[in-house]
Structure 1
Amino acid sequence: MDVLNWLFNAQLHIGDQSILWREVLGNVFGLLSALGGMRRKVWAWPVGIVGNALLFTVFLGAVFGTPNPVNLLGQAGRQVMFIVVSIYGWVRWQQAKHDGGAAVSPQWAGWKNRIWLVVALVGGTAIVTPVFQLLGSYEPVWADAWIFVGSLLATYGMAKGWVEFWLIWVAVDLVGVPLLVSAGYYASAFMYVFYGAFTIVGFIVWARVRRGERLTIETRFPDPTVHTDGPNWQ
């Protein structure tokens, strides 16, 4: 109980600002999860869930009586969504590993899925925004809704193994940093800046892995080339 009390109440004081250690630790777990995701490790999912649980209590400041009384419903709601989708991703990656393959094999989503992701991000934000407004989320509410919907799509894309999911995180971070700064969640805003750079690296790593796997497949199973004297394997 003493550990839980400390975890719930401990604060880091920087000048006249107070930052909950829960916010710091939650973002650290999130960073470790992102690192594990880039390396395609199954443990990335349960580690991320721990961070989600911590951050859920942080972003409902008015409910949990934290030093920051601002409620970011999109940020809090996405933690619940993360946990649900992470369970799906955890099971999916673990099953793939049990079947004798890698936890996930990066693949391009394809133009059909890319268009669907863009439409879902924009349309989902438009749908969720008035809901968050009615619930009293922090302004600008559309930014909170954008973060919520984008996080859902990015986590789903990670579970599917789509390389493009990293780019969705970039779009989330671009909106998330100024929103978190204006709301006073400085630790999370700082981590979002770091995440932004990290997600670009993650995209490059996954794209290279995909290219390497494709080259391996093409080398082992080359396409037949038809010559005048009959088919020949290059």
Structure 2
Amino acid sequence: MNLDLLLEQVRSTSLLEWIAVTFGVSEVLLAKRNKVWLYPTGIISICCGAIVLIQAKLYAETILNAYYLGMSIYGWIKWKSRNQFGTPKITSSDSMDKVKTWGIVLIGWVVLYLFLINFTDSDVPIIDSLVSSTAWAGMWLLANRKVENWIWLNISNAIAIPLLFYKGLFMFGLLTVFLFVIAVLGYFDWRKILKEENNELQSV
């Protein structure tokens, strides 16, 4: 991509897309640092991004944003909750978590695909629905502070990057590349925190 085309893409980016991208960057940086403020910043990004995605006919990702909104509210409440042990800790997925995760991915993919081909004019139903279903799983794991959330979110990111560039959503595409990199770092950060928490429990 030459410089002129790059500048043209930047100039053509809407205000809503800029706002969504800015708050999206803030959200993932806060998530990497395990900070609850990822949720309110994420909600702003979600609401602005949904409008942009509707305009691009990425309906499954719009539905994904609605799911993100619900999971953000749920996660915000859960992360702010306290019990006798304090704030909920980072944990790894157990066998039941893994079954639920795969269920979200597979059932979500089929349901979204059928919805797109029957009720919308989507021209990328298979890929659009796969991006959304894998992200659904990642967000569910994030809300429950499971370290594997980063893996599933990055599967979604890896599929979404070429799709967004194909759809001409240049800034969203760059944001997703950034999210991919941060998710890799976030995974290792959370693994470190998990190891430290396990060591603390063993020493008690």
TM-score (norm 2): 0.89
Q: Which of 61, 64, 77 is equivalent to 1:91? A: 77
Equivalent residue number for residue 31 of structure 2: 37
**Alignment match, 1:193:** 177
1:174 match? 158
Is contact 1:151-1:169 (8 Å) kept? yes
Distance 1:51 1:115, change over 3 A: same
1:55 aligned residue: 49
Give the match for residue 146 of structure 1.
Answer: 130
Distance 1:126 1:20 in 2: 32
Q: 1:1-234 counterparts in 2 under 5 A?
A: 14-15=7-8, 18-61=12-55, 70-96=56-82, 101-102=86-87, 104-220=88-204
Partners of 2:43 and 2:158 in 1: CA distance: 23
Measure the CA separation in 2 of the matches of 1:129 and 1:173.
Answer: 18
| 1:90-127, Cα deviation, whole Å (9 max, x unpaired) | 1111113x76723x411001233224312431332122
Stretches of structure 2 that go unaligned for 5 or more consecutive residues are 1-5
Distance of 2:65 and 2:104 partners within structure 1: 19
Cα distance in 2 for partners of 1:173, 1:147 equals: 7
Greater helix percent: which structure? Answer: 2
Deviation larger for 197-206 or 76-85: 76-85
Show CA shifts across 1:143-163 (max 9, x none).
111122222221111111100
Report the alpha carbon displacement of residue 140 of structure 1 after superposing the two structures with TM: 2.2
Contact 1:138–1:183 (8 Å) recurs in 2: no
**C-alpha deviation, 1:172, in angstroms:** 0.2
- 2:7 counterpart letter in structure 1: I
**Are the aligned partners of 1:72 and 1:137 in contact in 2 as well (CA < 8 Å)?**
no
Rounded Cα–Cα distance in structure 2 between residues aligned with 1:137 and 1:212? 49
Indicate the structure with greater strand content: 1
Alpha-carbon deviation of 1:34?
Answer: 1.5
The whole-number CA distance in structure 1 between the counterparts of 2:14 and 2:51 is 10
SS in 2 for 1:163: coil
Provide the alpha-carbon RMSD of the alignment. Answer: 1.9
Residue 43 of structure 1 and its aligned partner are, at CA, apart by 1.3
Give SS of 2:13's match: strand
Deviations 1:147-184 (A, max 9, x none): 22222221111111100001011110111011111111
Provide the secondary structure at the position in 2 that maps to 1:14. helix
Higher relative contact order (CA 8 A, sep 6+): 2
Identity of counterpart residues, as a percentage? Answer: 18
Could you state the TM-score of these two structures normalised by the residue count of structure 1? 0.78
1:15-38, Cα deviation, whole Å (9 max, x unpaired) = 276111211220221121111122
For 1:214 and 1:137, locate their aligned partners in 2 and report how far apart those are by CA, in whole Å.
Answer: 49
